[in-house]
Amino acid sequence: MSTRDTDVDAPTGLHERVLATIGPQLVSGELPEGSVLRIDEIVQQHGVSRTVARDVVKVLESLRVATSRRRVGVTVRPRREWNVFDPRMIRWRLDGARREGQLRSLSELRRGVEPVAAALAATRADDAQVAALTAAVTGMAATGRAGDLETYLGHDVDFHRTLLEASGNEMFAALAPVVAEVLSGRTHHHLMPAHPEPAAIQLHADVAAAVRAGDAATAERSMRAIVDEAQQAIEQAFPG
Specify whether 124 is located in the same domain as 223.
yes
pLDDT at 6: 33
Q: What is the CATH number of the domain that holds 222?
A: 1.20.120.530
With vertex at residue 166, the alpha carbon angle to CA 168 and CA 149, rounded to the nearest 5 degrees, is: 145
Specify whether 65 is located in the same domain as 155.
no
Average pLDDT of the chain, as a whole number: 91
Helix (H, G, I), strand (E, B) or coil at 73: strand
Specify whether 65 is located in the same domain as 134.
no
Q: Distance from first CA to last CA of the chain, Å, rounded?
A: 36
Q: What is the CATH number of the domain that holds 28?
A: 1.10.10.10
Instruction: Label residue 200 by pLDDT band (50, 70, 90).
Output: very high
pLDDT at 12: 56
Q: Which distant-in-sequence residues (6+ apart) come within 8 Å of 208 by Cβ? A: 130, 133, 134, 136, 137, 159
pLDDT at 2: 36
Q: pLDDT per residue over 218-230, tens digit each?
A: 999 999 999 999 8
Q: pLDDT per residue over 62-105, tens digit each?
A: 999 999 988 888 999 999 999 999 999 999 999 888 888 899 99
180: containing domain = 89-237
pLDDT at 59: 94
pLDDT at 4: 34
Question: What is the percent of the chain where pLDDT is above 90?
Answer: 79
